[in-house]
């Protein structure tokens, strides 16, 4: 974005807020959708979390301190909304977040919005074996192409720890992806 400070001014201005927010949606909706989708897995859940994310962004704009980029700040909100959703599901079903992720992974093949191939399914399977935080760090770096310092700002973790976690994830994936055997796809 050419001049983020001017754009932010429009976002918090009473007479330009709605127009600027529509532009914000156009600029970031797809990127945030895919960030959330990697965390909550299914399209339907992603849509719900994305909507909650943009509601929270809209309400929180006057409090945006501009200590990070607008995208990093929104990414952190999307991340927190995703975790909130996963935590609610954990409580609702009395299961761990990892079990929620495994259940979503089991349903991924049946998701009509999933357009992945066998390799992508294997990757998602291997990623589901990682601890939650490590999986999130991998997704932010690999899929969202965030810099390590941006991930550190979003998660509130030291940059060195982020790098170590990411490279350990890569090693785990390289070691285990060829071992994954997929079940035949169900005919719908």
Per-chain mean pLDDT for the chain: 82
Do 8 and 29 belong together in one domain? yes
* Tokens describing residue 133: 């935080």
In a domain, 147, yes or no: yes
Distances (CA, A) of 19 to 15, 60, 160: 9, 17, 40
The answer to whether residue 16 scores a pLDDT higher than 50 is yes
d(CA 36, CA 50): 7
pLDDT tens, position by position, 50-75: 999 999 999 999 888 888 889 899 99
Q: How confident is the model at residue 186 (pLDDT cuts 50, 70, 90)?
A: very low
Q: Tell me which of 13-17, 78-82, 105-109 is least confident.
A: 105-109
Query: What is the structure's pLDDT at 187?
Result: 42
Q: Is the dihedral of CA 32, 36, 37, 39 positive or negative?
A: positive
Q: Is the dihedral of CA 175, 127, 177, 141 positive or negative?
A: negative
Do 51 and 134 belong together in one domain? no
The answer to whether residue 120 scores a pLDDT higher than 50 is yes
Query: What is the structure's pLDDT at 188?
Result: 41
Do 148 and 92 belong together in one domain? no
Q: Which residues constitute the domain of residue 58?
A: 1-111
Distances (CA, A) of 107 to 100, 124, 125, 185: 11, 12, 12, 11
Number of domains in the chain: 2
CA angle 38, 40, 43 (to 5 degrees): 85
Q: Tell me which of 6-10, 37-41, 85-89, 116-120 is least confident.
A: 116-120
Do 36 and 95 belong together in one domain? yes
- The residue from 58, 90, 111 where one domain ends is 111
Cα atoms found within 13 Å of the Cα of residue 105, Cβ hemisphere only: 19
24, 11 contact by CB (below 8 A): yes
For the ranges 43-47, 141-145, 162-166, 181-185, the maximum mean pLDDT occurs at 162-166
Backbone angles phi, psi at 137, to 5 degrees: -65, -45
Do 98 and 149 belong together in one domain? no
pLDDT tens, position by position, 29-53: 999 998 898 888 788 899 999 999 9
- The residue from 76, 96, 111 where one domain ends is 111
Q: How confident is the model at residue 183 (pLDDT cuts 50, 70, 90)?
A: low
38, 45 contact by CB (below 8 A): no
- Prediction pTM value: 0.70
User: Stretch 12-23: mean pLDDT, rounded?
Assistant: 90
152, 162 contact by CB (below 8 A): yes
Residue 183: helix, strand or coil by DSSP?
coil
Do 48 and 100 belong together in one domain? yes
């Amino acid at each position: 974005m050419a001049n983020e400070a001017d754009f932010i001014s429009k976002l918090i201005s009473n007479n330009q807020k709605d127009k600027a927010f529509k532009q914000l949606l156009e600029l970031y909706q797809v990127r945030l959708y895919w960030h959330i989708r990697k965390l909550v897995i299914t399209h339907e859940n992603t849509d719900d979390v994305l909507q909650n994310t943009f509601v929270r962004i809209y309400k929180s704009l006057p409090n945006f301190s501009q200590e990070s980029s607008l995208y990093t700040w929104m990414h952190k909100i999307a991340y927190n909304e995703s975790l909130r959703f996963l935590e609610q599901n954990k409580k609702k079903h009395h299961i761990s977040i990892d079990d929620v992720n495994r259940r979503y992974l089991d349903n991924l093949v049946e998701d009509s919005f999933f357009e992945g191939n066998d390799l992508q399914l294997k990757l998602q399977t291997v990623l589901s074996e990682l601890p939650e935080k490590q999986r999130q760090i991998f997704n932010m770096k690999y899929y969202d192409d965030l810099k390590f310092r941006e991930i550190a700002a979003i998660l509130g973790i030291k940059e060195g720890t982020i790098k170590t976690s990411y490279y350990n994830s890569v090693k785990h994936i390289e070691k285990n992806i060829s071992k994954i055997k997929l079940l035949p796809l169900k005919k719908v």
